[in-house]
Amino acid sequence: MKEELKKVVAAAQKEIREVQTLHDLMQVKSKYTGKKSILNNFMQKISTLSQEDRPAFGQTVNTMKQQLLSLIEEQEKIIKELNYKKTLEVESLDLTLPGRKRGKGSLHPITKVWRELEDIFILMGFEVTEGPDIEDEFHNFGALNTPEDHPARELSDTFYLDDNILLRTQTSTVQIRTMEKHQVPLKIISPGSCYRNENDASHSPMFHQVEALVVDVGVSFTDLRDTLTIFVKEMFGDKIESRIRPHFFPFTEPSAEIDIICVKCYGKGCNLCGGSGWLEMGGAGMVDPAVFEKLGIDPEKFTGYAFGLGIDRIAMLKYKIPDMRLLFENDIRFLKQFK
C-alpha cells in the first residue's frame, strides 16, 4: 500500500505543478486532500493493515497530505502572481508620462467688462437695477414714446412671443419700470440682455446693453457729457477720446450718439473704424418731457439724462475683437486669451 501511496502522491505533485488556474487548483486540492479524496481513502484502508503497521502508515499519509497542501499553497501563489502580471500587461500604465494639467477657468470677456463698468458707475454714485428680458409693448415702445408705425416695432426687427409680449429690444425698458416704481430723484444703471432679429459681424440676435438714467432738479446735458467722458476714460484709458453727435431717439430730446476714438488707429482711419477714425458705442439724450408726463413726473420741475451703451461693443473695442459672433461661439481657444 505504501508503494501505491507513493505513486499517488507523485501523480498529485505533477498535477498540482501543471495546474494553470485557481479554479483547477481547487479541484485538484479536493481530489487529493478533501473529505472524499484519494488520501482519505488510504486512511480508510488502514484497517486492512496489521496493528503495528497502522500508526506509521497513518503518519505517512498525514505527512504526504501536509506536503501536498504546502505545494498547493505554493502553486496558488505562482498562479496569482501570473494573473497579476497578465492584468498589468493589459492595463499597463506608463508612469513616465507627464500628468495632465487642469486649466484654471477664467471670466468671459463680456462678464469682465460688465463687472468693470458696474464698478465704474457705482463709484460715480449709480445704483444697479435689473428688469425682465420678456417685456410688453408698452414698456419696450409705447412708454418710450415710440410711434405705433415705427419700423423698430416690426416683426422683422423684434421677436414677438405673443401679440403684445416680446423679447426686449433695449434696456431702456428699465427706465420706465424704475420711474413707475420709485420716486425721483433717481440715478441708476441697468445692464442686461436684449434681443433683435439681426445677425452679422457687428450684430448678434442676443446682445447686452447697459442703460443709465439720472433724474433730478437741474440735471443738464453737461452732466451727461461729463459722465460719459469719465466713463470712457476709466474704461479705455486716458488716450481714448469720446464725442457725441446729434441723432434721434423717440424718448430723448435732444438725442445724441456716442462715439469713441478708434482704439486701433486713434483717429487716423483704419479698417476697424471704416476709415472714419471713430467707433459707435451707443445712444444718449435728455429724457423727453413726453416720457415724464406719461409717468406722472412733472417735466417743469425735473429733468433727466439717459444713455444706453452696448456692452459687447465695449468688449469688442477694449479687446480689439473684430467679429461679435466670436463672443458667443464660446470657442475655448478664443476665450483662453482673456485670462
The residue within the footprint of ligand DAH, chosen from 174, 307, 314, 327 (CB under 6 A), is 307
Q: How far is the CB of 333 from ligand DAH (least distance, A)?
A: 32
Q: Residue 175's closest CA among 203, 220, 231, 135?
A: 135
Question: What is the contact mask toward ligand DAH in residues 258 to 297, using x (rule: CB under 6 A)?
Answer: ------------------------xxxx------------
Candidate segments 31-39, 112-120, 305-313, 324-332, binder of ligand DAH by CB under 6 A: 305-313
Confirm if 106 and 336 have CB atoms less than 8 A apart: yes
The residue within the footprint of ligand DAH, chosen from 129, 170, 190, 227 (CB under 6 A), is 170
249 lies in the site for ligand DAH, by CB under 6 A: yes
Tell me which residue has cell 425721483. Answer: 184
Paired strand residues for 59: none
Q: Residue 339's closest CA among 111, 108, 114?
A: 108
Residues in region 1-40 near ligand DAH by CB under 6 A: none
Residue 190 to residue 212: CA distance in whole angstroms: 6
211 lies in the site for ligand DAH, by CB under 6 A: yes
146 lies in the site for ligand DAH, by CB under 6 A: no
The residue within the footprint of ligand DAH, chosen from 145, 158, 252, 303 (CB under 6 A), is 252
How many residues sit close enough to ligand DAH to count as binding (CB under 6 A)? 13
Q: How far is the CB of 174 from ligand DAH (least distance, A)?
A: 9
The residue within the footprint of ligand DAH, chosen from 191, 192, 304, 308 (CB under 6 A), is 308
Q: How far is the CB of 270 from ligand DAH (least distance, A)?
A: 25
The three grid cell numbers given for residue 63, joined into one nine-digit string: 505527512
Single-letter residue type at 120: I
Candidate segments 39-47, 179-187, 303-311, 331-339, binder of ligand DAH by CB under 6 A: 303-311
User: Could you give phi then psi for residue 106, rounded to 5 degrees?
Assistant: -145, 165
Q: In what order do the strands lie in the sheet with 252-261?
A: 127-128, 186-195, 206-216, 303-310, 278-287, 252-261, 242-249
Contacts 24+ apart (CB under 8 A), 26-29: 28/72, 29/69, 29/72
Q: How far is the CB of 284 from ligand DAH (least distance, A)?
A: 5
Tell me which residue has cell 444713455. Answer: 307
Binding site for ligand DAH (CB under 6 A): 170, 172, 211, 249, 252, 255, 282-285, 306-308
